[in-house]
Structure 1
Amino acid sequence: MEAAQPADRVPTDATPPDGQPPVRTTAGPTPQAGEPALVESAGAAPLADSGEPARHPAAPAGGARARSERSPKDMALSLLVLLVPIALLLAFYRGFLGGEEPTTVDPTTAVEQAREEAAFPVSQPEGLGSDWRTVSARYRAEPGGATLRIGYLTPEGRGAQLVESNVPADKLLPAELSGGQPQGPAALPGGSWQRYTARSNEHALVLLEPTRTVIVIGDAGENELRELATALR
């Protein structure tokens, strides 16, 4: 005897509460032994016509794509926009506020202090042009001796310094010239000046006297150093 085949759909009548019409429901086919039950999950992705889940196009990453599409030209223009205000501020500072002008000082106080203490004869340049600018001046007395230093900015924009001291020459010269060596006499009025090498790219003119040592040193050219040494009175 053959087994009875189940019907595809078996209508059933559910008994409703009193006073309401019966509700007709349709049950799905009963799975045979060995076959998995088909369960439709709530919230499952809808199927496309082909039977595959419908795919939604992913939203483009707008920020990442915009950054990746910036060309070197765009980046250069952005940088230029930032640099232009800075350049304008620098131009205003230099042109109207004197940003490139050095700060000058009056050496009178330091020179007078050195002369009052009379630790050594004090000389001061006279007759230098207005394009020689004094940028520093200091007198300092220590147990080993006293020293007067006056710094200048030369007409060519170089640095020069006048050093007058009664510190013993064998201690003063190595400290001031960084071990510089004499290079022969310098034909200058007012004493027996010697040319010396100095630290880095500097040169020096040295006047050795019994009571003091005078040094003119700097990265200025030799002509400007000679002009400063000749102007001492």
Structure 2
Amino acid sequence: MRGKQTVRDLVLSMAAIGVVVFGIYFFVPHSEGDPVKTVGYSVELGQARRDAPYAVAAPVGLGKDWRATSVTYDATDPKAVAWHLGFVDPQEEYAAVEQSNAEAGAFVEAKTYGAKRSGSRTVDGVTWAKYEGPKYDALVREASGVTTVVTGTAPFAQLAELAAALEERGGQ
């Protein structure tokens, strides 16, 4: 009988839907623990160090609390070969190593999301340009046509720790 629904029918329908939702929630597995996926990067690093027209930077001796979360190597354009290695630091902040032989200004702008130069900082005897921005801060070094950017949401102390751990090898 259409038009004769009651509040009781509504409550019974809602209860039935609730049982179904509870069953789905209870029986479908949930991801537990850390939602940040850790990745290995030795294969990509080896390829980049064999192929890149510059010495590729990667950290050596970072603490075990630093976790690699992303890695890419793009050599499709020989004038803009790009290396990226992203991390989550011990305080769960993002930090990345970005390297390229592309035009430095545009590369820095893109990788720092528009951060502006705000001075310099010496890390293990090497002077890096310091950039501050609304999204990312960065340490930037240009040498022999290659720009290395250590950037992210991590504080400058953590960016400096990552920069100090970088070891450049390979290149043609």
Q: Is TM (by shorter chain) over 0.5?
A: yes
Instruction: Provide closer, same or farther for how the CA distance between residues 68 and 135 of structure 1 changes in structure 2, counting only shifts above 3 A.
Output: same
Based on CA coordinates, which of the two structures has the bigger radius of gyration? 1
Residues 1:133 and 1:70: Cα distance change in structure 2 (over 3 Å): same
- Is 1:145–1:165's contact at 8 Å kept on the other side of the alignment? yes
Per-residue deviation at 1:174?
A: 2.2
SS at match of 1:157: coil
Unmatched 5+ stretches in structure 1: 1-60
Q: Which residue of 2 aligns with 1:111?
A: 45
Shift of 1:74: 6.2
Specify the code of the residue in structure 2 equivalent to 1:205. Answer: L
In 1, the alpha carbon distance for the partners of 2:10 and 2:139 equals: 56
Q: Deviations over 1:87-112 (max 9, x none)?
A: 3246x4324xx6x4443332122222
Which residue identity is paired with 1:154? D
Q: How many residues align?
A: 166
Higher RCO, 1 vs 2 (CA within 8 Å, ≥6 residues apart): 2
CA positional deviation for 1:228: 1.5
Partner of 2:6: 68
Shift of 1:167: 1.6
Cα shift readout 1:126-176 (whole Å, capped 9, x = no counterpart): 122222221222222213231211122233333222112222312322232
Letter in 2 for 1:111: L
62, 81, 98: which one aligns with 1:146: 81
Contact kept in structure 2, 1:192 and 1:208, CA below 8 Å: no
1:72-87 aligned at under 5 Å gives the runs 77-78=15-16, 80-87=18-25
- Change in Cα spacing, 1:82 to 1:109, as seen in structure 2 (3 Å) is same
Which of 160, 180, 188 matches 2:115?
180
User: Aligned letter for 1:213?
Assistant: T
Higher strand residue share: 2
Identity rate, percent: 28
1:171 is the counterpart of 2:106:
yes
- Consecutive aligned runs of 4 or more in structure 1 exceeding 6 Å deviation: 71-76
Distance 2:10 2:160 in 1: 55
Encode CA deviations 1:28-69: one digit per residue, 9 max, x unaligned.
xxxxxxxxxxxxxxxxxxxxxxxxxxxxxxxxx5x644x332
One-letter amino acid matched to 1:81 = V
Check 1:101–1:178 CA distance in 2 against 1; reply closer, same or farther (3 A cut): closer
Task: Check 1:135–1:146 CA distance in 2 against 1; reply closer, same or farther (3 A cut).
Answer: same
